Structure 1
Amino acid sequence: MDAPWLCVSIVLLLLQCCPLLSVTVTSNRHKVEVRENSDAVLSCLYKTERDQNPRIEWKKRGRDVSFVYFDGQFRGPFEGRATIEGATVTLQRVTQDDAGEYRCEISAPQDSVNLGETNVTLKVLVPPHTPSCEIPTSAVTGSVVRLRCHDHQSIPPATYSWFKDSQPISSPRHGNDSYVLNSYTGVLEFKSVSKEDSGRYSCLASNGIGTPKMCEAKNMTIEDVNVTAVVVAVLVIGLIVAICSCGGVLLHRNGFFSRHRGRSNVNYIPPPQEDFKHTQSFML
């Protein structure tokens, strides 16, 4: 065998026997979901070939990248409320500010490929809060009425159910279009209310996390239009307008407005005209 080919064979054999040494990093749980004010475990597992004392860093990604664990210490808001075992971090009493994407970085200078990383996403779940409810106190028959219910803080977003006189209002069946109930937006809309829709209404918010919450019940009264009162009001307004119109006509006929305008012209005296032709002061 020629010498060049022998050298190539030896190099290939050495590469097969001695592969490149590198650090490997992974996580046994890349997506973590925990309830607010509980502990969150961010898993980071690594393996090095040579380096027995690699550098461990945790960072949180957002608008800017901030350090969570660096140089053997927790930083910023995590100081005093987080622990580390190996490279796995436990955050205590998490809040919505802690939610986001985290990155575990392992640096092993003695390995040929000396840097490895893995990402873990933390989602903080928030149980429902007492929803805000908009319930009109009164309406007239035949009008469109909307009742609104919303909880801005629950994660995942809450779904809503309405109650009338402590009894649940079900989604309308086929052919019943007197009202529309949207459990995702929390809107209960009556297309044409009747007196039978009067009652005490409340709304319940739930998202599967913690105990559902209900807003305070409020009365809504549906009344018929008072036709007699409307007719009387129209007649009174018409009578007032007629009286004002007749009074204006009579005052105009009696010359009240014309005398007022003429009085200002009586005192007007035109300035005297001077005859410059006979004035001696202009003679040379």
Structure 2
Amino acid sequence: MAQNSIVVRGGVQDSQGFTATTSTPVLKVAENEGADLKCTYSGDFNPNPRIEWNFKKSRGSSFVFFDGKPTVAPSVPLCLIPTSVTTSHQVVLSCSDKDASPAATYKWYKNNIPLPEDPSKFAAFKNMTYKIDSSAGILEFPVVSQADNGDYYCEASNEAGPSQSCTAVRMMAYDLNVGGIVAGVIVALLLVGLLLFGLWFAYRKGYIPKMAERMNMLIGFLYSKPKTVVYTQPTANYDDEDGEFKQKSSFVV
């Protein structure tokens, strides 16, 4: 089985004198098998330093492992932003990037202006009642109003690479047309009332029973069995006087 070499730099020292070393500068392992890389650092670091492993392939590409996972820069996030909403209702905008590692944090913008997480602390946003969850990518309007109309987009960012933003979407809030709804209900009730009155009037005038009777006759005619007509030969009688044949009866059906 082929073996691959992993080269680890024996020691790193930054401008402040902190050092990090490894006891395994060169490892040879079989393909598809595990390898343990060890790193030690001087006591000058803080008690909980951030430890990253940087890998560089032979072709020049590189990636970083942190906390046992490869780090991935944000991609263009998926933003769900409604274009039309009704005032005085709850509206939720969402933003997500499942590929970013570590998990991305999110920032929302309105008309290219970043929205602060606490709008009450800023005069320009004190009339807005939204809520932001930067870790979940949620922008919530408990009671949306026309003052919230604007172009919204979200930006995803982490430590692995540059931030990415989705395309801005214009959200517009409209008042509920109560008058139009009431007028529509009234018109519908009037039409139903006219229909009921027409049926009642037709019943009083006897139109409905006559129509029903005619329909029953028509149905009976269409589905009735045809009658069989039998023709019988008339009875032949002879005149006793002259012996000639004379017809004394007609055909009987």
The TM-score with structure 1 as length reference comes to 0.51
Distance 1:130 1:226, change over 3 A: same
User: Partner residue of 1:139?
Assistant: 85
- Distance in 1, matches of 2:213 and 2:79, equals 62
Q: CA deviation at 1:186?
A: 0.8
**Deviation (angstroms), 1:67:** 5.1
CA distance in 1, matches of 2:25, 2:152: 53
Whole-Å Cα distance in 1 between the matches of residues 129 and 62 of structure 2? Answer: 45
Q: Could you tell me which runs of 5 or more consecutive residues in structure 2 were left unpaired when the two chains were aligned.
A: 1-6, 10-21, 36-54, 229-253
Question: Structure 2 CA distance, aligned partners of 1:250 and 1:45?
Answer: 102
Partner residue of 2:140 out of 189, 199, 206: 189
Q: Are 2:164 and 1:213 equivalent residues in the alignment?
A: yes
Partner residue, 1:155: 101
Deviations 1:64-123, CA, capped at 9 Å, x for gaps: xx3599xxxxxxxxxxxxxxxxxxx96343579xx89xxxxxxxxxxxxxxxxxxxx863
Q: Which residue of 1 aligns with 2:238?
A: none
User: What is the distance in 1 between the residues matched to 2:83 and 2:106?
Assistant: 21
What is the 5 A alignment of 1:79-228?
Answer: 91-92=57-58, 93=61, 123-172=69-118, 178-228=129-179
1:58 aligns with 2:30: yes
Q: Is the 8 A contact 1:94 1:124 kept in 2?
A: no
Q: 2-side partners of 1:221 and 1:91: how far apart? A: 50
Bigger mean CA offset, 204-213 vs 169-178: 169-178
- Contact 1:251–1:257 under 8 Å retained in 2: no
Contact 2:117 2:131 in 1 (8 A): yes
CA RMSD, 1 decimal: 4.0
1:243/1:140 Cα in 2 relative to 1: closer, same or farther (>3 Å)?
A: same
- The 1:173/1:216 distance shift into structure 2, 3 A limit, reads closer
Q: CA deviation at 1:152?
A: 2.0
- Between stretches 122-131 and 150-159, larger displacement belongs to 122-131
CA deviation after TM superposition for structure 1 residue 268, in Å:
5.0
Matches of 2:23 and 2:106 in 1, distance apart? 36
| Contact kept? 1:28, 1:43, Cα under 8 Å | no
**Partner AA of 1:164 in structure 2:** K
Tell me how far 1:58 sits from its aligned partner: 3.3
Asked if the contact 1:181–1:188 (Cα under 8 Å) also holds between the matched residues in 2, the reply is yes
Q: Which amino acid aligns with 1:136?
A: P
Kept in 1: contact 2:74–2:104 (CA 8 A)? yes
Summarize deviations over 1:231-260 as a string: whole Å, max 9, x none. 222222223323333344445551223431
The 3 A distance-change label for structure 1 pair 210 and 56 is closer
**Unpaired stretches in structure 1, ≥5 consecutive residues:** 1-26, 30-41, 47-54, 60-65, 70-88, 101-120, 273-284
Instruction: Pick from 234, 239, 259 the counterpart of residue 214 of structure 2.
Output: 259
Q: CA deviation at 1:56?
A: 4.1
How far has the Cα of 1:182 moved from its partner? 0.9
Q: Does residue 241 of the first structure (1) align with residue 170 of the second (2)?
A: no
Give the equivalent residue in structure 2 for 1:21: none
Q: Secondary structure at the match of 2:88?
A: coil
Q: Which amino acid aligns with 1:91?
A: K
